């Protein structure tokens, strides 16, 4: 389970790199992401290896940029339900003043960076024949933007504590980081991930949280100042107050008129993600080698130490089909006040977005514009997938994309 959790987290923060040889891996380890990207961008006649490397490094640079922005303003442990805000980072002893607009800026920058990461991947033919080795030990994020690699800035140290919790400190530190040999199938896998996180970014921007964060943080500061005795950071009441702040921010952001263009863009990203993921499974099924695979077919093994059950690709296609059906409105999601003859048109929530009032949705008045007669999505494909992966469906979902 720990190996699977590690793979799932790495799938979010280190999808794919490539190199003309292992020199690129060493270059990243020695110089960092930005300098290596700059060199690749100057190549007059890039190969498919170079394109793959550039796409992967640009993706990782997006992650690094979010970590740097968070470190600058001391945004270390809040809003962890969102990607890019989940990874733990060290405390900044002298952070800049927090600006509520910084959260939207993180996702605005991410959306732009993810588009840039995808661009070179689209130029790689499906049948391109290359194999590239990357040691995950060479990957690091310059969190404090000082140009030097600190001990807590490696990929393993950034992701490890979140995955394993207290068990991270009890691991054998001599355990080597995985070495992966990436190939053409991984270009489709990475492209799918850029669409997934691009879609999430567009949803956040469609319901820009800046005003809601401003309101909640202003009120929280005023309440703090009213107290004669200030609670310690680990006090339960203070922690619950911070949780209430987060809930207020989320509900406040959702209950506003969204940016329709952003919502439509998110819808397109999620559909493209499904297309790229199918492309990945088509490509990987044709592979006959078995050499340090990132995500293997039934005849291969993962270099991450994860056992992918035989038949995963076929069962996952059913899950993808259900997701596509929901996004296109061909099947409907269940709603608690309706029987099996009607449900929620999820696709319409993207193409005709509106403010989301939680109470109105629970009662039904605000849900009504999206409720219609039709076939409900079946839980059979998801249940088959969950059974196949022995109850680790959510972790495998992050890994498989």
Token output for 83: 């990607």
3-state helix/strand/coil string of 192-229 = HHHHHHHHHHHHHHHCCCHHHHHHHHHHHHHHHHHCCC
Residue 162: the pLDDT is 62
Residue 315: the pLDDT is 97
Q: How many CB atoms lie within 10 A of CB 398?
A: 17
- Dump pLDDT digits (tens) for 231-272: 777 777 777 888 899 999 999 999 999 999 999 999 999 999
- Dump pLDDT digits (tens) for 53-104: 999 999 999 999 999 999 999 987 666 678 888 888 888 999 999 999 999 9
Residue 7: the pLDDT is 57
Give the mean pLDDT of the chain: 90
Closest CA to 202 of 272, 122, 276: 272
Are 142 and 200 in contact by the 8 Å Cβ rule? The answer is no
pLDDT band of 18, cuts 50, 70, 90: low
pLDDT band of 6, cuts 50, 70, 90: low
pTM for the predicted model, two decimal places? 0.93
- Dump pLDDT digits (tens) for 123-135: 999 988 888 889 9
- Secondary structure of residue 344 in the 3-state scheme: strand
CA–CA separation, 274 and 362 (whole Å):
29
Residue 241: the pLDDT is 86
List C-alpha distances in Å: 31 to 11, 22, 271, 302. Answer: 23, 14, 36, 28
Are 56 and 17 in contact by the 8 Å Cβ rule? The answer is yes
- Dump pLDDT digits (tens) for 317-369: 999 999 999 999 999 999 999 999 999 999 999 999 999 999 999 999 999 99
Token output for 89: 């980072």
């Amino acid at each position: 389970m720990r190996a699977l959790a590690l793979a799932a987290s790495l799938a979010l923060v280190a999808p794919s790199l490539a190199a003309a040889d292992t020199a690129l891996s060493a270059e990243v380890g020695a110089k960092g992401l930005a300098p290596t990207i700059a060199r690749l961008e100057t190549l007059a006649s890039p190969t498919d290896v170079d394109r793959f490397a550039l796409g992967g490094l640009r993706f990782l640079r997006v992650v690094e940029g979010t970590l740097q922005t968070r470190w600058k303003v001391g945004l270390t442990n809040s809003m962890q339900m969102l990607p890019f805000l989940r990874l733990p980072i060290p405390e900044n002893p002298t952070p800049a003043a927090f600006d509520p607009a910084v959260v939207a800026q993180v996702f605005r920058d991410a959306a732009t960076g993810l588009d840039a990461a995808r661009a070179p991947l689209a130029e790689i033919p499906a049948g391109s024949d290359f194999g590239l080795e990357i040691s995950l030990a060479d990957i690091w994020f310059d969190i404090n933007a000082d140009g030097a690699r600190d001990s807590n800035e490696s990929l393993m140290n950034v992701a490890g504590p979140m995955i394993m919790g207290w068990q991270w400190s009890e691991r054998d530190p001599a355990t080597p980081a995985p070495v992966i040999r990436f190939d053409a199938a991984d270009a489709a896998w990475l492209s799918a991930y850029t669409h997934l996180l691009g879609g999430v970014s567009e949803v956040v921007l469609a319901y820009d949280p800046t005003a809601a964060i401003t309101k909640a943080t202003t009120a929280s500061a005023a309440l703090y100042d009213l107290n004669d005795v200030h609670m310690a950071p680990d006090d339960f009441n203070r922690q619950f107050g911070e949780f209430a702040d987060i809930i207020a921010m989320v509900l406040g952001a959702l209950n506003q008129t969204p940016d329709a263009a952003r919502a439509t863009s998110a819808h397109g990203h999620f559909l493209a993600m499904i297309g790229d993921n199918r492309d990945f499974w088509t490509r990987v099924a044709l592979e006959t080698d078995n050499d340090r695979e990132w995500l293997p077919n039934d005849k291969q093994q993962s270099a991450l130490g994860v056992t992918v059950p035989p038949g995963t690709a076929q069962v996952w296609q059913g899950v993808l089909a259900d997701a596509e059906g929901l996004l296109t409105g061909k099947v409907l999601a269940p709603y608690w006040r309706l029987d099996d003859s009607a449900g929620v048109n999820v696709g319409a929530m993207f193409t005709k977005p509106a403010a989301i009032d939680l109470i109105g949705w629970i009662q039904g008045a605000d849900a009504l514009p999206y409720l219609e007669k039709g076939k409900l999505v079946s839980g059979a494909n998801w249940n088959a997938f969950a059974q196949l992966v022995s109850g680790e469906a959510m972790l495998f979902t992050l890994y498989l994309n």
